[in-house]
């Protein structure tokens, strides 16, 4: 009866959607517990590619999804996801926590405005209203789904919003409230107690997949603040954001790419530019699933991953995109930052000045469709020796097992070691 958490170990976009859908085969429930419509979980099915923003991608396998109160709820995006998902896989049961905080047009407008005010120091947010929704939630000025549905008098709250923000962005309180009320009515039938639902599944022997959004380095506390998102992205957030205790989580699967990417501003110690970065970006279609922005590219970073493995109590690593990194003559692995030990540097300034020390390794031949087919049948031993050497070096450096290896975009393009 395991609870399995899937978390990103880097700056998001590690391939958690595909990993969750893979691990959820045979599971009974998929849970989202953090983030909001800033996430873009892409899964490649035989006949289409789905990019989900609010629903967990693991629901492709479970057909049953829950959205915990830790998620910043964008109802319109969720309804779009449900339509997309049901067209692809048929009926999906969705339960949404009444305690989830709503993202309204006010928070979306403020996100853009605050970014504009920051000028050159902007975070590069996805402009999905995440920061301002968090600002309202933790300032105890948030609007929850249950408050709207229960007909609570939210007039006073909106008056405070008006006083705070009326002069900052155009804001029509009546319009916003009418829109939110209309949307909330559309999901009334989905509202339910997510915490009990998870417990019921676990108690009856089901497997529950807790699908994290974003990555460890974007965590509001542990990430590269202020270039982070406004929620918790580490494994412990699965408990807090869905309403279960830590004992409901049995296995932590950390997902990392075979290289590193980052979208948006902020420090990135192993970032590279030039032809190799361009090849990886084009081959891996490294463009944001939510915003379409080109992703920044870098080598795999052991100090960063050691930090992330520790914060998440990672049991197993799922290393994705070993195929994207194939076909290069040489690859590099950052094994340390010159003169920097533990703890991981806390400030942006410190991270911007670190000098990565690289181990240069032999690359491995291109993994194309034919090679993928062969590897799926023959397994780990059939992987080119240079790729195995790279993976084993990562394992050795991190002291954590690389149990799964992603060799393509499809859910079953996986080697289990
Ligand atoms: P926000 O979450 O939209 O406020 O954006 C804050 C930072 O997190 C920006 O650098 C975004 O690019 C980044 N970010 C948010 N969600 C994701 C994601 O799902 N993948 C990668 N980066 C993300």
Handedness of CA 332, 335, 340, 342 (dihedral sign): positive
Our answer on whether the CB atom of 264 is closer than 6 Å to any ligand 1 atom is yes
Ligand 1 atom closest to 40 (CA): 19
pLDDT bin (cut points 50, 70, 90) of residue 290 is confident
Cβ contacts of 379 within 8 Å, gap of 6 or more: 415, 416
- Could you identify the residue written with the tokens 């954001």? 241
Ligand 1 atom closest to 263 (CA): 12
From 201, 225, 252, the end of a domain falls on: 252
Please name which of 243, 208, 231, 185 lies closest in space to residue 39, comparing C-alpha atoms. Answer: 231
Domain count, the chain: 3
pLDDT of residue 1 exceeding 70: no
Average confidence score pLDDT of the chain: 97
Average pLDDT estimate for 102-118: 98
Ligand 1 atom closest to 125 (CA): 5
Pair 38, 150 in one domain: no
Q: Could you tell me the distance, in angstroms and rounded to a whole number, from the CA of residue 229 to the centre of ligand 1?
A: 6
Our answer on whether the CB atom of 110 is closer than 6 Å to any ligand 1 atom is no
Pair 232, 381 in one domain: no
Q: Could you tell me the distance, in angstroms and rounded to a whole number, from the CA of residue 38 to the centre of ligand 1?
A: 6
Pair 63, 195 in one domain: yes
By most ligand atoms within 8 Å of CB, the mutation choice from 15, 113, 130, 229 for ligand 1 is 229
* Percent of the chain topping pLDDT 70: 100
pLDDT in tens, 233-286: 999 999 999 999 999 999 999 999 999 999 999 999 999 999 999 999 999 999
Q: Which domain CATH number covers 157? A: 1.10.300.10
Q: Could you tell me the distance, in angstroms and rounded to a whole number, from the CA of residue 30 to the centre of ligand 1?
A: 22
Q: Which domain CATH number covers 287? A: 3.90.170.10
Concatenate the DSSP letters of all residues of 93-149 into one string: EEEE-TTPEEP-HHHHHHHHHHHHHHGGG-----SSSHHHHHHHHHTT---BHHHHH
Our answer on whether the CB atom of 220 is closer than 6 Å to any ligand 1 atom is no
Pair 286, 400 in one domain: yes
Average pLDDT estimate for 90-111: 98
Concatenate the DSSP letters of all residues of 192-255 into one string: --HHHHHHHHHHTT--EEEEEEEEGGG-TTTSSTTSS-SS--STHHHHHHHT--GGG--EEEEE
Could you give phi then psi for residue 77, rounded to 5 degrees? Answer: -65, -40
Q: How many CB atoms lie within 10 A of CB 411?
A: 22
From 186, 221, 244, the end of a domain falls on: 186
**Structure-block tokens of residue 126:** 């996805």
Dihedral class, residue 241 (left if φ above 0, else alpha if ψ from -120 to 50, else beta)? alpha
**Structure-block tokens of residue 78:** 């969720």
Q: Could you tell me the distance, in angstroms and rounded to a whole number, from the CA of residue 214 to the centre of ligand 1?
A: 7
Q: Which residue's CA is the nearest one to ligand 1's atom 8?
A: 229
Please name which of 278, 229, 256, 291 lies closest in space to residue 51, comparing C-alpha atoms. Answer: 291
The whole domain housing 217 covers 3-98+188-252
Q: Catalytic positions, please?
A: 13, 41
Q: Which domain CATH number covers 205? A: 3.40.440.10
By most ligand atoms within 8 Å of CB, the mutation choice from 17, 19, 126, 295 for ligand 1 is 126
Q: What is the pLDDT of residue 326?
A: 98
CA distance 199 to 217: 30
Pair 118, 215 in one domain: no
Sheet holding 296-298, edge to edge: 260-262, 296-298, 271-272
- Could you identify the residue written with the tokens 């629901």? 59
Q: What is the pLDDT of residue 152?
A: 81
Q: What is the pLDDT of residue 291?
A: 85
pLDDT in tens, 212-221: 999 999 999 9
Q: In this structure, are strands 316-320 and 330-337 parallel, antiparallel, or unpaired?
A: unpaired
**Structure-block tokens of residue 205:** 């022997």
Q: Could you tell me the distance, in angstroms and rounded to a whole number, from the CA of residue 126 to the centre of ligand 1?
A: 6
- Could you identify the residue written with the tokens 């919003």? 161
Pair 20, 64 in one domain: yes
Pair 277, 362 in one domain: yes
Ligand 1 atom closest to 218 (CA): 8
Our answer on whether the CB atom of 233 is closer than 6 Å to any ligand 1 atom is no
Kind and range of the H or E element at 3?
A: strand 3-8
pLDDT of residue 111 exceeding 80: yes
Q: What is the pLDDT of residue 93?
A: 98
Is 0.95 surpassed by the pTM of this model?
yes
Q: Could you tell me the distance, in angstroms and rounded to a whole number, from the CA of residue 338 to the centre of ligand 1?
A: 28
Pair 265, 401 in one domain: yes
pLDDT in tens, 388-413: 999 999 999 999 999 999 999 999 99
From 154, 186, 218, the end of a domain falls on: 186
Q: Could you tell me the distance, in angstroms and rounded to a whole number, from the CA of residue 13 to the centre of ligand 1?
A: 9
Pair 391, 267 in one domain: yes
CA distance 212 to 19: 11
Our answer on whether the CB atom of 304 is closer than 6 Å to any ligand 1 atom is no
Summarize the chain as % helix, strand, coil (round to 5).
40, 20, 40
Q: What is the pLDDT of residue 286?
A: 97
Pair 192, 62 in one domain: yes
Q: Which long-range contacts (CB under 8 A, 24 or more apart) does 343-348 make?
A: 343/307, 344/303, 344/304, 344/306, 344/307, 348/224, 348/225, 348/226, 348/227, 348/266, 348/267
Q: What is the pLDDT of residue 108?
A: 98
CA distance 139 to 131: 12
Pair 47, 136 in one domain: no
Q: How many CB atoms lie within 10 A of CB 412?
A: 13
Q: Which residue's CA is the nearest one to ligand 1's atom 10?
A: 264
Ligand 1 atom closest to 266 (CA): 10
Average pLDDT estimate for 315-333: 98
Pair 325, 262 in one domain: yes
């Amino acid at each position: 009866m395991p609870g399995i958490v899937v978390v990103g170990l880097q700056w998001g976009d590690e391939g958690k959607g595909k990993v969750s859908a893979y691990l959820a085969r045979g599971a009974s429930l998929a849970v989202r517990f953090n983030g909001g419509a800033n996430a873009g979980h892409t899964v490649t099915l035989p006949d289409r590619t789905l990019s989900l923003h609010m629903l967990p991608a693991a629901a492709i396998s479970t057909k049953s999804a829950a959205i915990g109160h830790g998620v910043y709820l964008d109802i319109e995006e969720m309804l779009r996801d449900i339509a997309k998902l049901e067209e692809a896989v048929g009926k999906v049961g969705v339960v949404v926590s009444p305690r989830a905080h709503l993202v309204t047009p006010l928070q979306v407008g403020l996100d853009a405005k605050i970014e504009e005010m920051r000028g050159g120091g902007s975070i590069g947010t996805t402009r999905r209203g995440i920061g301002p929704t968090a600002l309202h939630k933790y300032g105890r000025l948030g609007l929850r789904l249950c408050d709207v549905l229960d007909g609570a008098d939210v007039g006073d709250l909106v008056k405070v919003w008006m006083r705070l923000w009326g002069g900052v962005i155009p804001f029509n309180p009546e319009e916003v409230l009418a829109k939110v009320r209309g949307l909330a009515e559309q999901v009334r039938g989905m509202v339910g107690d997510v915490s009990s639902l998870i417990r019921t599944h676990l108690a009856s022997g089901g497997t529950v997949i807790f699908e994290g959004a974003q990555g460890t380095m974007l965590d509001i506390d542990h990430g590269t603040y202020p270039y982070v998102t406004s929620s918790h992205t580490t494994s412990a957030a699965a408990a807090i954001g869905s309403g279960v205790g830590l004992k409901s989580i049995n296995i932590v699967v950390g997902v990392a790419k075979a290289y590193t990417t980052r979208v948006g501003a902020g420090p990135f110690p192993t970032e590279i530019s030039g032809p190799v970065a361009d090849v990886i970006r084009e081959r891996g279609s490294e463009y944001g699933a939510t915003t379409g922005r080109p992703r920044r590219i870098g080598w795999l970073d052991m100090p960063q991953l050691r930090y992330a493995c520790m914060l998440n109590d990672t049991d197993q690593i799922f290393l994705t995109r070993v195929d994207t990194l194939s076909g290069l003559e040489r690859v590099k692995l950052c094994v340390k930052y010159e003169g920097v030990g533990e703890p991981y540097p806390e400030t942006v300034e410190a991270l911007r000045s670190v000098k990565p020390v690289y181990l240069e390794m032999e690359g491995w031949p291109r993994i194309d469709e034919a090679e993928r087919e062969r590897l799926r049948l023959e397994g780990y031993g059939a992987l080119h020796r240079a790729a195995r050497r790279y993976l084993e070096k990562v394992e050795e450096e991190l002291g954590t097992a690389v149990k799964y290896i992603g060799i393509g975009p499809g859910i079953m393009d996986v080697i289990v070691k």
